[in-house]
Amino acid sequence: MLHDDLAVMVNGVPGKMATAAAEEVVHRGLILADEALTGPDMRDKIEINGVQIRLSPPEEHFACLQRCREKYPRLIVVDYTHPSAANPNVRNYASAGLSFVIGTTGGDVSAMKDAIAGAPGVYAVIAPNMGKQIVAFQAMMDMMATEFPGAFAGYKMVVKESHQATKADTSGTAKSVVASFNKLGLNFQVDEIEKVRDEERSVNEMHVPQEHVKSGHAFHTYHVTSPDGSVNFEFQHNVCGRLVYAAGTVDAVQFLDAQRQKGEEKQVFSMIDILRSGEMS
Amino acid sequence: MLHDDLAVMVNGVPGKMATAAAEEVVHRGLILADEALTGPDMRDKIEINGVQIRLSPPEEHFACLQRCREKYPRLIVVDYTHPSAANPNVRNYASAGLSFVIGTTGGDVSAMKDAIAGAPGVYAVIAPNMGKQIVAFQAMMDMMATEFPGAFAGYKMVVKESHQATKADTSGTAKSVVASFNKLGLNFQVDEIEKVRDEERSVNEMHVPQEHVKSGHAFHTYHVTSPDGSVNFEFQHNVCGRLVYAAGTVDAVQFLDAQRQKGEEKQVFSMIDILRSGEMS
């Protein structure tokens, strides 16, 4: 399917994740909309990859969305704004008849679904993690655990995750993978996950490149060992920067556009749906 | 289910894999049968973990099987013999009404299935790899590839496998995992798998313990990298010695015994069936 008139409005710029998504939109050759929503008391324009973007303050949001809908007949919205803005934004997108990808976490997902259900022809991807390959890995571990419960009974585990020092809580991805290992028969608690936030350990032990140690990384190592030590498995997934999430976001945009084209009945999708759609490509 | 009268005849002793399986039978508290089949011109007895085992030459095989069937009313046979012996043995087990686990590879599996189909009440596990956790990993990769085709499109891969120097061919497990990665969108050929057979590299690069570098090991590393290098995944499965295969073999024995007890209709099983049965335990 040709995407040459597919336009993407990216709300949340100049935030880092929104900016990365906007850059990926341009990189893929899609049209980056020249308007975006912003919060109160923010700047009124920004340039991304040569595209001048006019930013609308909250009182003008709905008018801005309607204007963009006219300007770009084939438009999808991407939302990487603030948790407090996510639900009001979703209501506005639905009211304006716009389909959207919401990467902003912390909103009330159930209320979002209600807003979409009341807006026929509006499609949405709601995903706590847009990193397609990471989501595939999590789903794979979950499938193994569901299919083969207890297959690793008696094994011991060590889990380490390294993130930039500003991330205080334990990685949600690591917690989800640990839940799968629990179903596989491993006796391991979430509080045994080792949080590495010390830069020297991140670099020397987890092999995080120096240039990403402060700016943002997500390195995970799961190591399991048989009771006698003769069998060892290790799984690692290591992400630097934001490109993997930006790429997954734009995959989600293209997926939604395809659902809209064919008038799919289902309206709300997850990254798993996007991963499964690979069979059509 | 109590297994206190479950007896296991292990054919192929004093071969290394058969011996490991026999030791695991004793370790689990099952009865190790005091007779076993052997090839032509072999010794006539052997002791394993204190059990004296009388070995029958080919011309006495069928009589030996019938005798064991009388002696051990709840008997399962394990076969780790020679590829050339596997099919004649299977015919004999089926004729004698004995259920069996065949770990010997290289036989004609289709002919084995025919022999079993003609013998009601005979159950068998036929598996090219008895290492339950390794089989689970392979199946997981295959599930991911089937569910999420193309999820890793554009990624690059490096695959290394280290085995003892006497193994000339490329690891079959590595080939099967590579086939899954191909479905996931990676452009990678089986002949790009790096076979490490040099002891120094096995120890220094793959971290094979010195004591297992000659005697038998199977170390596998799969590393995939996104086009821009910002995302890296690594999967390792590293096995020393034979315990994991012996343990899987005795799991298969106990599984077959359970199928026989409940008069299951299906007669031939794989390690996947055994892994799935975990949900019952």
Q: For A150, name the nearest residue in chain B, comparing CA atoms only.
A: B278
Tell me how close the Cα of B151 comes to any Cα of chain A, in angstroms.
Answer: 6
Whether A29 is covered by a domain: the verdict is yes
B233 and B98, same domain (yes or no): no
What is the CA angle A168-A174-A180, rounded to 5?
A: 150
C-alpha radius of gyration, chain A, whole number: 21
A26 and A36, same domain (yes or no): yes
Whether A90 is covered by a domain: the verdict is yes
Say whether B232 and A228 touch across the interface (CB within 8 A).
no
Could you give the residue ranges of the DSSP H alpha helices within chain A? Answer: 16-27, 61-71, 83-95, 109-117, 132-147, 172-183, 199-204, 243-261, 271-276
Say whether A137 and B226 touch across the interface (CB within 8 A).
no
Q: Which residues of B touch A133 (CB under 8 A)?
A: 151-152, 155, 226, 231, 233
pLDDT of the residue at A279: 59
Q: Is the pLDDT of residue A133 over 70?
A: yes
Q: For B274, name the nearest residue in chain A, comparing CA atoms only.
A: A148
Kindly indicate the confidence band of residue A1, based on its pLDDT and cuts at 50, 70 and 90: low
What is the CA angle B30-B31-B33, rounded to 5?
A: 140
Say whether A144 and B136 touch across the interface (CB within 8 A).
yes
Rounded-to-integer distance, Cα B192 and Cα B210, Å:
26
Q: Which residues of B touch A207 (CB under 8 A)?
A: none
A59 and A138, same domain (yes or no): no
pLDDT in tens, A144-195: 999 999 999 999 999 999 999 998 899 999 999 999 999 999 999 999 999 9
Roughly how many angstroms between the first and final C-alpha of chain B, as a whole number? 10
Domain CATH for B216:
3.30.360.10
Say whether A140 and B137 touch across the interface (CB within 8 A).
no
Could you give the residue ranges of the DSSP H alpha helices within B149-262? Answer: 172-183, 199-204, 243-261
B63 and B158, same domain (yes or no): no
Write down the number of H helices and E strands in chain B: 9, 13
pLDDT in tens, B11-45: 999 999 999 999 999 999 999 999 999 988 889 99
pLDDT of the residue at A3: 65
Q: Which residues of B touch A149 (CB under 8 A)?
A: 278-279
A126 and A247, same domain (yes or no): yes
- Structure tokens of A226? 């048989």
| B134 SS3 class | helix
Nearest beta carbon to residue A144 from set B140, B155, B234: B140
ipTM associated with this complex:
0.91
Domain CATH for A99:
3.40.50.720
Closest by CA position to A24, among listed A268, A253, A237, A270: A253
B74 and B125, same domain (yes or no): yes
Average pLDDT of the residues in A76-94: 96
A137 and A267, same domain (yes or no): no
Whether B2 is covered by a domain: the verdict is no
Whether A2 is covered by a domain: the verdict is no
pLDDT of the residue at A42: 86
Q: Provide residues of A within 8 Å CB-CB of chain B.
A: 131-133, 136-137, 139-141, 143-144, 147-152, 155, 185, 226, 228, 230-241, 243-244, 275-276, 278-279, 281
A126 and A137, same domain (yes or no): no
Q: Which residue has the higher pLDDT, A218 or B106?
A: A218
Distances (CA, A) of A154 to A13, A150, A182, A225, B248: 49, 9, 11, 9, 14
Nearest beta carbon to residue A278 from set B137, B149, B281: B149
Closest by CA position to B275, among listed B100, B130, B124: B130
Tell me how close the Cα of A28 comes to any Cα of chain B, in angstroms.
Answer: 14
Rounded-to-integer distance, Cα B258 and Cα B269, Å:
12
A30 and A86, same domain (yes or no): yes
Whether B125 is covered by a domain: the verdict is yes
Say whether B141 and A137 touch across the interface (CB within 8 A).
no
Tell me how close the Cα of A37 comes to any Cα of chain B, in angstroms.
Answer: 29
Kindly indicate the confidence band of residue B281, based on its pLDDT and cuts at 50, 70 and 90: very low
Question: Which residue's structure tokens are 């290992």?
Answer: A181
Kindly indicate the confidence band of residue B279, based on its pLDDT and cuts at 50, 70 and 90: low
Q: What percent of chain A has pLDDT over 70?
A: 98
Whether B1 is covered by a domain: the verdict is no
| A170 SS3 class | coil
Q: Which amino acid is at A132?
A: K
Q: Provide residues of B within 8 Å CB-CB of chain A.
A: 131-133, 136-137, 139-141, 143-144, 147-152, 155, 185, 226, 228-241, 243-244, 275-276, 278-279, 281
Q: Is the pLDDT of residue A122 over 70?
A: yes
pLDDT of the residue at B215: 87
Exposure letters A134-163 (e unless 16+ CB within 10 A, then b): bbbbbbbbbbbbebbbbbbeebebebbbbb
Tell me how close the Cα of B96 comes to any Cα of chain A, in angstroms.
Answer: 33
pLDDT of the residue at B96: 97
Q: Is the pLDDT of residue A92 over 90?
A: yes
Average pLDDT of the residues in B96-121: 94
Q: Which residues of B touch A275 (CB under 8 A)?
A: 147-148, 151
Q: Which amino acid is at A151?
A: A
H/E run at residue B46: strand B45-48
Domain count, chain A: 2
Query: A49, A23 in Cβ contact below 8 A?
Result: yes
Structural domain boundaries enclosing A124: 7-130+243-280
Say whether A147 and B276 touch across the interface (CB within 8 A).
yes
Say whether A151 and B132 touch across the interface (CB within 8 A).
yes
Whether B213 is covered by a domain: the verdict is yes
pLDDT in tens, B219-254: 999 999 999 999 999 999 999 999 999 999 999 999
Query: B278, A149 in Cβ contact below 8 A?
Result: yes
Point out the residues of A that are catalytic.
163, 167
pLDDT of the residue at B3: 64
B235 and B261, same domain (yes or no): no
A110 and A139, same domain (yes or no): no
Side-chain-facing half-sphere of A15: CA atoms under 13 Å = 19
Tell me how close the Cα of A57 comes to any Cα of chain B, in angstroms.
Answer: 34
Say whether A136 and B148 touch across the interface (CB within 8 A).
yes
A126 and A248, same domain (yes or no): yes
Tell me how close the Cα of B205 comes to any Cα of chain A, in angstroms.
Answer: 15
Say whether B151 and A132 touch across the interface (CB within 8 A).
yes
Closest by CA position to B94, among listed B72, B71, B70, B77: B77
pLDDT of the residue at A281: 46
Rounded-to-integer distance, Cα A30 and Cα B209, Å:
52
